[in-house]
Amino acid sequence: MDNITASELAGFGVGALLLCATIAAPKVDAFISASQRSSLGMCKRCGNLRMIACSRCKGVGLIKEGGVFGLNLIDDFYESVGGSDSKVRSISCTNCNARGHFSCPDCSKTSV
């Protein structure tokens, strides 16, 4: 990269900005939802549901084996369009004992 043009530099800058926005999006969403729940007088963590989804299995209770970084994009797409014959094995989540959720620690403190 001997001679980099202004357009290329702008492209790198925009790409970096989009990457940072993508990485920060879940944190920004969590902050906004917590502030909305707080203003409505609800539990900041669970929104008065008294349970929180497991972060490992995303609330499903099962984890799919294989794939790059645990991602099976083709199989996920196939299941979303109505395919029921999945070739990917699913194992029970050991983090939540295949329940998909935990009791909210904030609500369980106040209700006991």
Kindly report the average pLDDT of the chain as a whole number. Answer: 81
Domain boundaries, position 94: 6-111
Split into its structural domains, the chain has a count of: 1
CA–CA separation, 36 vs 4, rounded Å?
45
> For residue 108, is pLDDT > 60?
yes
For residue range 66-84, what is the model confidence (pLDDT) as tens digits?
A: 644 555 566 666 666 665 5
Has residue 105 been placed in a domain? yes
Sequence-distant (6+) residues with CB within 8 A of 45 are: 34, 52, 104, 105, 106, 107
**Residue 112 confidence (pLDDT):** 45
Has residue 75 been placed in a domain? yes
Has residue 1 been placed in a domain? no
Band of residue 106 on the pLDDT scale cut at 50, 70, 90: confident
**Residue 20 confidence (pLDDT):** 95
Has residue 95 been placed in a domain? yes
For residue range 30-59, what is the model confidence (pLDDT) as tens digits?
A: 899 989 988 998 988 888 888 888 888 888
